[in-house]
């Protein structure tokens, strides 16, 4: 049980793991206001996310580390400047230059030069104040006001865990205890979405994706929500299971896959109105990706891959990452790049 919980915490980027890579003096400083330290061993921290920015690969992780590769993952170098040392959990790029990183302490960072330099746009203190002002306008909702006050009192202790941008201006970020914010100007300003999500329990939200005009959120205890009005409101969907959903994979043509704890995976062909359970091994699915040839690949927490051509039946393939993973992406030269505990690895499906 202990091993299981440790792996899940690793996957979600919620655990603070002590890695003797940087100076111990860091722990006595505020990581929210301290630049990420350069180190020759930076790639040996927990790497939580890896994405493509055109042909460049960008990865992020513990202690504010951001790694870049311009040769499809054969070699990596650290970003020139990251203004925080908190754990970064997810990345999203809309083009070769423009991208965002989110993480612990409610941090949102932006880059406009392909990940070389980053600027802080939001932190948990600012996010709490934004929600408090929104709750004050929602005067009829006493429970929301109380929760907003607690959010302010708690300080910057809530991580963001999921991010999606439609373009360089419009984006949504979600995280622990149901926190959710949106921007319409590339992150210069943020608005709270908390009062628009039909979830009074405030369950953790792990993922946000978009398919055509629909926006989907997924989270713990079967949390699944959909908006068809540009995030003005989110209604609840039901996959028929109350365990955590770690991600949603849009497949096109109104089809989706939702995946999560204990290998539970569900497919929908009607934009989430109904779901069918798929038969996968009982190991938590933590990442999904559609390859350039159209193949659908899901990865479980051990690094084992599951491959499908039609989203109805998955085969476990022989290729496996070296140990637990957090994410994977296909590189420009058709290799799979895995992020995980203390490593970035490059493998081939062929």
Q: Which residues of 267-276 are buried (b: 16+ CB within 10 A; e: fewer)?
A: bbbebbeebe
Average pLDDT, the chain: 90
Report pLDDT digits (tens) over 338-350. Answer: 998 878 999 887 6
- Scan for tokens 């497919």, then name that residue: 267
Which of the residue ranges 7-11, 262-266, 268-272 would you say has the lowest mean pLDDT? 7-11
pLDDT given at position 14: 43
CATH class for the domain made up of 44-196:
mainly beta
Comparing 28 with 23, the larger pLDDT belongs to 28
Residue 67 has pLDDT above 70, yes or no: yes
Report how far residue 157's alpha carbon sits from residue 221's, in angstroms, rounded to the nearest whole number: 21
Which structure tokens are listed for 303?
């690094």
pLDDT given at position 10: 42
Break the chain into its structural domains and give their ranges. Answer: 44-196
Report pLDDT digits (tens) over 85-131. Answer: 999 999 999 999 999 999 999 999 999 999 999 999 999 999 999 99
Mean pLDDT of 13-40: 62
Residue 13 has pLDDT above 50, yes or no: no
Mean pLDDT of 324-337: 94
pLDDT given at position 179: 97
Q: pLDDT-derived band of residue 12, with 50, 70 and 90 as boundaries?
A: low
pLDDT given at position 165: 98
- At what angle are helices 142-154 and 124-137 packed, to 10 degrees? 160
pTM: 0.90
pLDDT given at position 350: 67
């Amino acid at each position: 049980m202990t091993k299981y919980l440790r792996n899940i915490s690793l996957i979600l980027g919620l655990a603070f793991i002590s890695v003797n890579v940087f100076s111990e003096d860091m722990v006595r400083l505020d990581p929210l206001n301290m630049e990420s330290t350069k180190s020759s061993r930076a790639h040996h921290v927990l790497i939580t996310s890896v994405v493509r920015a055109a042909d460049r690969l960008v990865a992020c992780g513990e202690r504010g580390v951001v790694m870049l590769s311009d040769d499809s993952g054969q070699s990596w170098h650290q970003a020139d400047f990251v203004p925080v040392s908190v754990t970064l959990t997810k990345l999203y790029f809309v083009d070769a230059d423009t991208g965002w990183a989110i993480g612990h302490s409610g941090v949102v960072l932006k880059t406009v030069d392909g990940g070389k330099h980053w600027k802080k746009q939001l932190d948990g203190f600012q996010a709490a104040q934004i929600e408090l002002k929104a709750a004050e306008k929602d005067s009829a909702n006493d429970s929301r006001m109380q929760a907003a006050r607690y959010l302010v009192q708690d300080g910057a202790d809530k991580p963001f865990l999921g991010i999606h941008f439609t373009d360089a201006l419009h984006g949504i970020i979600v995280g622990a205890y149901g926190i959710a914010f949106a921007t319409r100007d590339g992150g210069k300003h943020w608005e709270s979405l908390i009062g628009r999500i039909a979830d009074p329990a405030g369950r953790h939200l792990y993922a946000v994706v978009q398919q055509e005009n629909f926006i989907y959120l997924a989270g713990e205890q079967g949390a699944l929500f959909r908006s068809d009005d540009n995030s003005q409101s989110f209604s609840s969907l039901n996959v028929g299971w109350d365990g955590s959903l770690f991600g949603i994979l849009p497949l096109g043509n109104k089809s989706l896959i939702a995946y999560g704890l204990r290998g539970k995976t569900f497919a929908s062909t009607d934009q989430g109105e109904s779901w069918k359970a798929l038969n996968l091994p009982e190991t938590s699915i933590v990442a999904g990706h559609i390859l350039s040839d159209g193949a659908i690949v899901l990865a479980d927490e051990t690094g084992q891959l599951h491959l499908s051509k039609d989203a109805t039946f998955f085969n476990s393939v022989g290729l496996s990452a070296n140990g637990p993973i957090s994410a994977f992406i296909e590189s420009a030269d058709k290799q799979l790049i895995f992020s995980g505990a203390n490593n970035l690895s490059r493998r081939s499906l062929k």
